[in-house]
């Protein structure tokens, strides 16, 4: 179990660990309450379709199929929500448990990714070499 941070170095290490987790796992939301209901409905439809098409699930009663869909939704939300993810340095605890052990809570974060939003140049290397060869003549 983690001890609450009291000195500046411990607070710095705690913040670093949280940032490390966000960089590694790229959560889309802080909590499940932040997830748009339309997104959940869309994912539910996708998972229902998958369960209906699965040969193993075809013979199961509808309430079992509904349980499978709810389990898939719960697992998916846990993978995209910051506080529900397993903590990067100790997967036996969730981020929520890690934050609670440090008397902290996640309110907001900003994640930057190198190259995000930039257009990639699409150069034709062969044409460039040919043009340079023609310039030398």
How does residue 3 score in pLDDT terms, banded at 50, 70 and 90? Answer: low
Strand segments, DSSP code E, in the chain are: 86-87, 90-94
Mean pLDDT of the chain: 87
Q: pLDDT tens for residues 23-56?
A: 999 999 999 999 999 999 999 999 999 998 888 8
Q: pLDDT tens for residues 97-116?
A: 999 998 888 888 888 888 77
Residue 86 · residue 27 · CB < 8 Å: no
Domains in the chain, CATH or no CATH each: 1-35+83-137 (3.30.479.20), 36-80 (no CATH)
Closest CA to 86 of 2, 13, 25, 3: 25
On the 0-12 / 13-18 / 19+ scale of CB atoms within 10 A, 60 is middle
The DSSP bridge partners found for residue 29 are: 81
Is the pTM higher than 0.75? The answer reads no
């Amino acid at each position: 179990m983690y001890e609450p941070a009291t000195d500046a170095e411990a607070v710095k290490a705690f913040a670093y660990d949280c940032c490390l987790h966000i960089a590694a796992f790229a959560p889309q939301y802080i909590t499940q309450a932040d997830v748009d209901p339309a997104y959940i409905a869309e994912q539910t439809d996708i998972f229902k379709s998958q369960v209906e098409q699965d040969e193993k699930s075809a013979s199961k009663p509808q309430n079992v199929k509904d349980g499978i869909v709810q389990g898939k939704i719960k697992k998916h939300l846990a993978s995209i929500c910051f506080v529900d993810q397993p903590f990067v340095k100790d997967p036996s605890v969730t981020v929520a448990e890690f934050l609670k052990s440090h008397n902290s809570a996640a309110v907001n974060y900003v994640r930057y990714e190198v190259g995000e939003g930039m257009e990639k140049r699409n150069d034709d290397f062969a044409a460039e070499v040919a043009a340079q060869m023609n310039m030398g003549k």
